[in-house]
Structure 1
Amino acid sequence: MDDEIKVLLIEDDEAAAEMYRLRMTADGYTVIIARDGQEGLALAESEQPDLVYLDLRLPKMDGLEVLKRLRETAATAAVPVVILTNHGEPELRERGLELGALEFLIKADTTPAYLSQGVERWTEVPLSSLEA
């Protein structure tokens, strides 16, 4: 088995995605970027990442729908998902956590270093804690 940790970043903001990718790659993680919800869902199924960072406002399919479908698909149901968004409305946070996100982060408060440090923490979460 490959020990390399693979992160899927589903983010439509190209500059933000590149900033996060550069830091995580420098820290030794493999980062795959999807620019919209449909692409993110397809890559989650085909690439089997160890962690997904998921924006909520995405073209083609919003992040909450992506999260819902990830949880409904056997191949991706247990993949840890952390929401990373500019939209901190309490109802969005609540819905994201209800759908199985481990954490809900606001981009303005989240540095690339924090995201990179979080990879190991969030990939070590026991699968049983993802079940509702």
Structure 2
Amino acid sequence: MTKILLVEDNEMNRDMLTRRLVRHGFEVCCAPEGPTGVAMAESEMPDIILMDIALGDMDGWEATTLIKERASTAAIPIIALTAHALATDRAKSVEVGCADFDTKPVDLPRLLGKISACLEARAA
């Protein structure tokens, strides 16, 4: 079963997206903020990470940078999730090492396609 680490500070968003992903056959573990997400990337070794960008003290870009700097977690694909659909946000996500970028509210079929594409690229 594919394991997803969801790093999301909004409890309602975390709960809703977790339930939807589990219904599609994923195992989901959650981190409510950036530092926990960084730690869980190493302890859980997920197949993919969904990273909210607006997280508080440590934003998703900083958390992604830390995950990508560690040899043990550098290969895990990360999809940035944000309510801001600006080109600068997309560019910053790529700059810090995200494999893809998606906007909130989440369009589940689109997100599932991006998850699938990232997992296929990692397996190749």
Tell me if TM exceeds 0.5.
Answer: yes
Structure 2: distance between partners of 1:20 and 1:113: 12
1:63 & 1:27 partners in 2: Cα distance?
A: 25
Change in 2 beyond 3 A, CA 1:114/1:90: closer
- Runs of 4+ residues over 4 Å off in structure 1: none
Q: How many residues align?
A: 124
Match of 1:60 among 57, 62, 65: 57
Structure 2 portions without partners, runs of 5+: none
> Is contact 1:20-1:115 (8 Å) kept?
no
Which of 74, 97, 117 is the matching residue for 1:77? Answer: 74
Secondary structure of 1:12's counterpart equals: coil
TM-score, scaled relative to structure 1: 0.85
Residues 73 and 127 of structure 1: CA distance in aligned 2, closer, same or farther (over 3 Å): farther
1:102, distance to aligned residue in structure 2 (A):
1.4
- Which 5+ residue runs of structure 1 have no aligned equivalent? none
Classify 1:24/1:71 alpha carbon distance in 2 versus 1 (closer, same or farther; 3 Å). Answer: same
Which amino acid letter does the alignment assign opposite residue 42 of structure 1?
A: A
Listed as ranges, the matches of 1:1-132 within 5 Å are 4-108=1-105, 110-126=106-122
* 3-state DSSP of counterpart to 1:23: helix
Amino acid at match of 2:116: E
CA distance in 2, matches of 1:127, 1:73: 20
**What TM-score, normalized by structure 2, do the two folds share?**
0.90
Q: Is the 8 A contact 2:102 2:111 kept in 1?
A: no
Deviations 1:112-132 (A, max 9, x none): 34334443322111478xxxx
CA contact (8 A) 1:78 1:127 kept: no
Structure 2 contact 81–101 (Cα < 8 Å) conserved: yes
